[in-house]
Amino acid sequence: MAENKEIKILTNHWGQKASPTWGAVTTYLPPEGFDLKSSMKLALRLYSRRRDFDCVVLGAGFSDTLFALMQAMIPFKKAPCVMIDCIWYEDPNKFRHFLKTAILKMTSRGVDKFVVWASREVEAYSEAFGIPQEKFVYVPYHTTLDTFDIKSSEGDYIFSGGNFGRDYDTLISAVRGLPVKVLIASTRPELFSHLDIPENVEVRGFSNEEFLKKMAGCLMNVVPLDADLLHSGGQQTFLNSMWFGKSTIVNDPEGAADYINDGEDGLLVPKKDPAAMREAILFLLSNPFFCRDCLT
């Protein structure tokens, strides 16, 4: 590519709308819907226009997979292609896992690089699905606060939130009986139906903006992640929390270590360990500015 040539990107990923830098060089093909017919139409539109651009950037939805499969199977020139949002799960059913592996391997023939948000996922995904490690690249995630005008304030409660990939059992065990209010922001009450919620814990659903306001007004943020997932999650939550200058605890020491220096700008504790999480919470209650001094 000639020096100083402006890169032209084709994408169906909504994220370009929130990034002026990305949006300036991107042509966005929005989905008409998310049903099979709409996904096929979008994949065909991407495929028909692919050679007019320097690169195609995909998400990890159905239309994205269809486009990648078309690139892999149709014997015409492929466009350079990057797939982001690779939040992959292992299916406990062996037959479904076999099918998923076969589809991902075929997809990888139409994709040059899969972007992951945690460096440990490079090896984990490669081993789980038999795709060479060189197909993956770790790119750090980002905050998602650019479109909000929310100020940080000092509250008297512990905040935790999220609807997917969370281990609220461990969190609730860790905070039971503590002399501090805990606010859990979730719109999925079924996650708590089997739990005995203590008096100091409140579970409520919020809009995205209210979720961020509650985070910005907390004493500290705890991100309890599910230990049984192939991918590492929670990046958006703990990065936004750190941006607000909040002391943050995450129980994924391997995945979150890409973003958090343990004991400096956050605390990392082992997965499924209520005692370790409780100890970290008590430490921050006694030392409220321990992490915040590094974040402000």
In the chain, where the domains are located: 9-138, 157-295
Task: State the average pLDDT over residues 192-217.
Answer: 97
User: Residue 287, Cα to own-chain centre: how many angstroms?
Assistant: 29
User: Which pLDDT score is estimated for 22?
Assistant: 80
Rounded CA separation 184/163 (Å): 10
pLDDT band, residue 296 (cuts 50/70/90): low
Residue 3 has pLDDT above 60, yes or no: no
Query: For residues 160 and 172, what is the distance between their CA atoms, to the nearest angstrom?
Result: 11
Res 24: pLDDT:
85
Digit-coded pLDDT (tens) for 75-134:
788 999 999 999 999 999 999 999 999 999 999 999 999 999 999 999 999 999 999 999
Q: Using pLDDT thresholds of 50, 70 and 90, give the confidence band for residue 33.
A: confident
121-133 pLDDT tens trace:
999 999 999 999 9
pLDDT above 70: residue 1: no
To 10 degrees, what angle do helices 168-175 and 274-286 make? Answer: 50
What angle (nearest 5°) sits at the alpha carbon of residue 161, between those of residues 269 and 92?
Answer: 70
Q: Give the model confidence (pLDDT) of 266-287 as tens digits.
A: 999 999 999 999 999 999 999 8
Strands (E), the chain: 9-11, 26-28, 55-58, 81-83, 113-116, 136-138, 157-161, 181-185, 201-204, 220-223, 247-250, 267-268
pLDDT at 49: 96
pLDDT at 4 over 60: no
Please write the tens of the pLDDT for every residue from 137-159: 999 999 989 889 999 998 999 99
**Which amino acid appears at position 152 of this protein?**
S
Nearest to 171 by CA among 200, 147, 146, 142: 200
Domain 157-295 has CATH 3.90.226.30: no
Cα–Cα distance measured from residue 18 to residue 20, given in angstroms and rounded to the nearest whole number: 7
Amino acid at 69: L
**Residue 235 in this model has a pLDDT that exceeds 90:** yes
The Cα–Cα gap between 29 and 11 comes to 6
pLDDT in the model for residue 147: 84
What the block records as the tokens of 92 is 């406990």
Token digits of residue 94: 């062996």
What is the C-alpha separation between 70 and 146, in angstroms, rounded?
35
